[in-house]
Structure 1
C-alpha cells in the first residue's frame, strides 16, 4: 500500500495536470468529501458533472487496484475496501471537448475501542480546561499552557526532578519526581500542591499513568525493578509487583484492564515489554523484542539489539502497541565480524509493533526511522491511521502511516529534545521541547484529513521563567542530545545521548577496534565532573573532554567542532596532545556540561534513611582489610588523577589498544554508582559484582577474595552496591589498608618481577559508549 506522501503526490499531481485543459473546455466534476469508512463496509461516492458538451464518460480508479473502463454517465460508485489504509481515488471525466479529473484520498480504518488509553509522559492535555501541563525536570517546576490562546498561564514550583504528569478524573494533576522519589498532587484550579506521597528511597520513579477506568494509578520504579499500584484518589500505595530489570514507560489500556511496562535497558538477548493483568496485578505476557542479527547493514537499515525502550503507545483500535527505542549493533566490529562500526551502523532508531492479541512482536512490521536518533513517545490520530513519534535526538516529530509504517512527513524545528506529545480535538499537536524550555504547537489538521503534507507551526511557548542551569551548561546539554547538527553526526544517527540518555549506561559492550581501542563497556557518567577523576576512557586515552572531537569525527560521522586549520597546529589533533580547550565554544560547552555532573544516583540498596545496612558496614571493613582502597581511594574512589593504569588479569587480545598505542592497563574507575551499571569490567565480561570478584579475578589479582567465606563475599558486594558518593573510600590510618603490600600481601598479587602495578580497579569506567564522557545534568539524568 502506498504511503500518504506518494498518495498525495499522485492525487495533487493529477489535479494540477488536469487543470491545464480547463480553459479549453467547460466540463466540471466534483465529489462531496466523504467521511472515513470502516474496512469491509460499503461507502458510496457520488460524482457531480456540469457544463458537459455531448455525452459524458467516466472512469473510476478506487486506489486499491479496482478500476472501471470509461462508461457513459457512470456517476456513482459503491465500494468496499477490504483493508484499512489511505486510498488515492481518481475519477476521470471526458466529454466531446476534453476531460477533467477529480483526485482525493479516502481513509479506511479499523473499528475503534471506546475510550482512550493512558501513558506516561512529561506533557499532558487537560481537555475540559483547555490546558497543557509540562514537567520541567531541571527546573523543578510544572508549567501551565492555555491551548486556545497559546500562552503560558503559570509555572508552579514542585519537588526535585519532576519527570511525569497525569490527570485524574477529578481534575487533579499528579506529578512524579525522580530525584525526590515522591508524588505530588496539585489542584488544577488553585495550582496549589495539596499533598505529597513518599515513594521508596532511591527508587527512581520514572513512569506514571492513571487508569482510564479511574480505579488506580501505576508508577514504575526503575532503580528497583518494580511497579506500584496506587489508589487513584489519595496516591497511597496499594500493591507492588517485582518485574526485574529497569522498568520505565507505563501505559494502561482504554478499559483499564491491561498495563504495559517497558524494560528500558535490555538484556543481551532481547528487549522486553511486560503486560500486567490489572485485576490480579500479575504479569500475563512478556513481549520479547528479538535481536536482529540477519538484516544486511546498509545506509538505510542494519542489525541491532532493541534497547532504550522508552514508552508504549496503544493504538485506538486496541490491536497494536508501538514501542519507540533504538537498535544497538553489538554484532559489528573488528573483533566481532571484522567490519568497522560506521555512523550508519552503530545505533539506529526503531519502533517495535506489538500484536497485543497474539502477545508477540510483529517483527515484520518493525520500523527503522532512517537518519534519526532517539525516538521516545508516540501518539495517534483519533482514527489511529497516523502516528506522531517524537524524536528527541533529531529535534523533530515524525508522522507515520500506521497501516504501512511508512514515513509521511516530519514536523521540524520543535526545539531541542522533544519528548511529550499531546493531540487536541482541534487538531493541534503540542510538543514539549524539554531542552529548549518551550512547547511547540503545530496545526496538523490537513495531515490528519489526508489533504496536505504542509506542516504549520503556530507557536513556541516558553515554559521556564528563570533557568536554573548555567547558560553554557544548558548549551552543552543541548549539543549533547542533538544529532541534527552535522558537526555532531552527518547522517543524524548519533549524538552523545545515544548511549547516555539519562547520563547512565546503555548496558552494551561496543567494539571500537577500528579507532584503536577494543571491546568497551558503557557505564554511567554521573559524578565524574568531566575530567574531575582524571583522564577519561577505559584506557585513559583522553585528558580533556574536548578530545571527544576525535571520536565525533571518526565514529559519529560528524564533521567535528574543530577546523582543519585548528587541528593542523602542533599536536592538537592528537589525544593527550596540545590542548583543544578554548578552540571551540561548542566543545567547551560540552565540557562545562560534563563538569557539572558532580553526583551519582543514590543507592536503593541502602537503608530507607540512606544509611549503610548492617551488611554494608561489615563489607566496608572487608573492603579496607583487602586493601581495595589502595586504588579505589578518596571520595571519588579512584587513583585515576595520577594517570595510573592497571592490569588485574582482565586485559586480553580483545581489549585492543590505547588510541592506537599499546594498552598496558585499564584506568581505575570510581565504584560510586556501580550498583546500576552492570555488566562490569572494561569488556563487560563480568555480568555481576560477584563475577568481578570471583570468576573474573584470576589468581586473586584483582583482590584476595578466595579467602573470603560466602557470608563475607556477600557483605563485600553489599558494601560496593551501596556506594553512591556519600562514603569516603580513603583507607583509614592504622587499618592496614594503606600499607605497602608484600609480594603475596593484601591484594593477593605480586608487585615484583617488573610486572608493574597489577592491583587495579574493582570495576571499570566507560564513556559515550566507550567514546567520550558525555553525560547527564548536574547530579541528575538527562
Structure 2
C-alpha cells in the first residue's frame, strides 16, 4: 500500500478554538459533556467494523466502515456511564470501560445493545485483553488492577498498585500499566507485584536536543547544561505498537508507544504570554511528544516536540505500507476547529532528537473536534469527531492515505456542544489549553516555580469550583472573570472572554464529578481519624462545610498567607501543600512542611493517630 500523501496547508489562524465560542450565544448544557480522554475508538480484527464509544451521549455504536452505516448502538446505558477504552477478546467479544459507573460493558458486536455490565472498581480507566492467559485487565485511578474472565463473572484477582493508573498494555506474557500524571510505565509480574524499575520518558533541553536521564531529572546527560529543561508529564494514551513483518519476512517484536506532554522545569513568568505565545514548539511551557519503550531491552526512545499538537489525547499506529513505512497518527484535541489529526513517520519520531521541533508529514484540517483514532488493516485512518460544528452530532472520518480524500460517516446524536467545555479544551492560541495543566479537570501533579512568587502546586478544578473564591493559592484572584482575564487571556495569550462565556466555563467546571473513593478497609481507623479531624486536631475549623474549606486566606506557618484548599478528593492530589512539599498525606504532618501547631493542633499526634487521620482523609 502507498504512504500517506504529503499534505496540510498553511495555518490560516493563530486560534484553533471552536468558532461557536465566538459565533453564537454561550450554550450551557444541563447534562454537561465529560472531559476529553481519548482512546474511544477500536477497529475489529476480522472486518472493517468500528466500535465507537461516545462518552458525550452515553452510547456505544458499531459501524460498518465499508457500507458507511451504523449497524447498531446501545439504548440502555445509564446517564453518566461515560464509555471509554475498548478491547476485543479472542472470541470476538468487545469490552468497554464505563468510567462513570465503575463498570465494564461486554457484548457481541452483532448485538451491541444486549451486553452485560460488571462492576469493577470506583474509577476504571485502562483496559486490555491478555490472549496468553485469556483474561481482561482493568486499570483504575484508585490504583486497583482488576483481572476478569472475558466470558463474564466475578473478578479473578484485584491487586493494589500506585494510584492514578491509566492504560494497560499486554506484551506477550508481560503486563504493563501506565500512570497518568507522572507518565510512568509500570510492569506487573505474574503475582501482581511491581517488577523492576518504572520506565519513563526522558527529559530534554528545549533548544539543544539534549537528554536527561529518566528518573534523575536533576542530572543532565553529559554536555547538557539543563537550560529550558522539559520534564515528562501527563501520559494521555499508551498503546502497543503492533508487531510487523520485516521486508525479509522476519517477525519484529512489539514496542509500547506513549503520547504524552512535557512540561517546563524552569522558572515560569506570571506575565502576559508567560505560558505560551506564537510559534510551534518552544513558545509554550507544555510540549507534546511520543516515547517508545522496548520491553525486551528496556530502551527508551524519546521523540521530538510535536509542533502545534495541543492536547495530544490519542495515538494510533498504522500497518506497514508498501514502501516499508509505518505511520503514527496523533490527535491534538486542543485544535478544535481543525488541524487536529497529525501524521508522522515512525522513523521520523524515533530519530529526531528530543527538544527539536517537528512538524507532521501530513495533517487534516477538515476534521474538527477530533478525539480518537484507529487504523484499519488496509491502512485507512479512522477518526472520531465528538461533535460536528454544524450541530449534526458525532461523526467518523475515513482518511485515505493514497489520495488524501476524506469520507464521512454521520453518527448523529444530540449536539454536545457546551461553551465551557469548548473553552476549557481549546488551544488558546499559545499552543496550550486549560486542560494541558488540568487534564480531565484534575491537575498535572506538578509544582511550578513562578518568578517573583515561588513554587506553586497545580490546583485541581473538579466540581464546585465557584463558591471557593478567591482563587489561586495566594487568594489574589477575586473570581473566575479575574482568573480567566489574567491567565487564559494574559498568560496563555487567548482571546478575551465575555462574562457569559466565563459563566459557561464556571458552569461546566462546577458539574465535573468529584473523585469516587473506594470503600475503606479499616472502618474503625477512619472513624478514629474523623473524630481527631473535627476534634483534637481542629482541622475542621478551616476545612469545613460541603467543600471542606472556609475560603479564608490564612498564614499557617508555611511561608505566608494562603488559601484554605478544599480537601475533596485530596488523596488523589499528592504532592500536597502550596509548594508540594508533602509527597504523601502523611508528609503533611511534618512540622517543616505542614507548619506545626499553627496548622491545626497536630504536634502531639502519635504515628498511629496520624495514620488514622490519613485513613479518614482518604475518604474525603
- Check whether the contact 1:379–1:387 (CA below 8 A) recurs between aligned residues: yes
Correspondence 1:428 to 2:384: no
2:410 corresponds in structure 1 to 461
Aligned with 2:347 (options 403, 418, 421):
403
- Check whether the contact 2:205–2:230 (CA below 8 A) recurs between aligned residues: no
- Check whether the contact 1:393–1:495 (CA below 8 A) recurs between aligned residues: yes
Distance 1:131 1:6 in 2: 27
**Distance change (3 Å), C-alpha of 1:206 and 1:287:** same
Distance 2:286 2:59 in 1: 33
- Check whether the contact 2:528–2:613 (CA below 8 A) recurs between aligned residues: yes
**Distance change (3 Å), C-alpha of 1:8 and 1:552:** closer
Distance 2:511 2:590 in 1: 36
SS at 1:304's partner residue? Answer: strand
- Check whether the contact 1:374–1:498 (CA below 8 A) recurs between aligned residues: yes
Aligned with 2:401 (options 423, 431, 445):
445
Distance 1:328 1:679 in 2: 17
Moved over 6 A (4+): 3-9
Aligned with 1:604 (options 518, 536, 548):
518
- Check whether the contact 2:238–2:256 (CA below 8 A) recurs between aligned residues: no
- Check whether the contact 1:313–1:377 (CA below 8 A) recurs between aligned residues: no
TM-score (norm 2): 0.78
1:289 corresponds in structure 2 to 200
- Check whether the contact 2:4–2:400 (CA below 8 A) recurs between aligned residues: no
TM-score (norm 1): 0.63
Tell me, which stretches of 5 or more residues in structure 1 are unaligned? 10-119, 447-451, 563-579, 653-664, 724-782
Report the aligned-residue RMSD.
3.0
Query: Could you give the per-residue CA deviations for residues 296-315 of structure 1, whole angstroms, max 9, x where no partner exists?
Result: 389xx953111111212414
1:372 corresponds in structure 2 to 309
SS at 1:713's partner residue? Answer: helix
SS at 1:403's partner residue? Answer: helix
- Check whether the contact 2:268–2:451 (CA below 8 A) recurs between aligned residues: yes
**Distance change (3 Å), C-alpha of 1:698 and 1:667:** closer
1:412 corresponds in structure 2 to 365
Q: How does 1:269-348 map to 2 (within 5 A)?
A: 271-276=183-188, 283-292=194-203, 294-296=205-207, 303-309=229-235, 310-317=237-244, 318-333=253-268, 342-343=276-277, 344-348=283-287
Query: Could you give the per-residue CA deviations for residues 506-545 of structure 1, whole angstroms, max 9, x where no partner exists?
Result: 100122336xx44221132112x23222322222223332
Q: How many correspondences in the alignment?
A: 531
**Distance change (3 Å), C-alpha of 1:153 and 1:716:** same
Measured after TM superposition, the shift of residue 141 of structure 1 is 1.7
1:98 corresponds in structure 2 to none
Correspondence 1:494 to 2:435: no
Tell me, which stretches of 5 or more residues in structure 2 are unaligned? 10-37, 210-226, 245-252, 278-282, 350-357
Distance 2:192 2:442 in 1: 30
- Check whether the contact 1:532–1:595 (CA below 8 A) recurs between aligned residues: no
2:352 corresponds in structure 1 to none
SS at 2:229's partner residue? Answer: coil
SS at 2:516's partner residue? Answer: coil
Larger Rg computed on CA atoms: 1
Correspondence 1:667 to 2:594: no
**Distance change (3 Å), C-alpha of 1:144 and 1:543:** farther
1:507 corresponds in structure 2 to 445
Measured after TM superposition, the shift of residue 674 of structure 1 is 0.4
- Check whether the contact 2:263–2:286 (CA below 8 A) recurs between aligned residues: yes
Measured after TM superposition, the shift of residue 281 of structure 1 is 5.3
Distance 1:245 1:602 in 2: 13
Measured after TM superposition, the shift of residue 349 of structure 1 is 0.6
1:622 corresponds in structure 2 to 532
Measured after TM superposition, the shift of residue 151 of structure 1 is 3.1
**Distance change (3 Å), C-alpha of 1:292 and 1:189:** closer
- Check whether the contact 1:391–1:398 (CA below 8 A) recurs between aligned residues: yes
Distance 2:454 2:600 in 1: 24
Aligned with 1:705 (options 583, 602, 605):
602
Distance 1:340 1:497 in 2: 17
Aligned with 2:505 (options 549, 566, 590):
590
Q: How does 1:492-571 map to 2 (within 5 A)?
A: 493-513=431-451, 517-527=453-463, 529-547=464-482, 548-558=484-494, 560-562=495-497
Correspondence 1:121 to 2:39: yes
SS at 1:519's partner residue? Answer: strand
**Distance change (3 Å), C-alpha of 1:259 and 1:121:** farther
Aligned with 1:233 (options 128, 151, 157):
151
Distance 2:600 2:516 in 1: 26
SS at 1:220's partner residue? Answer: strand
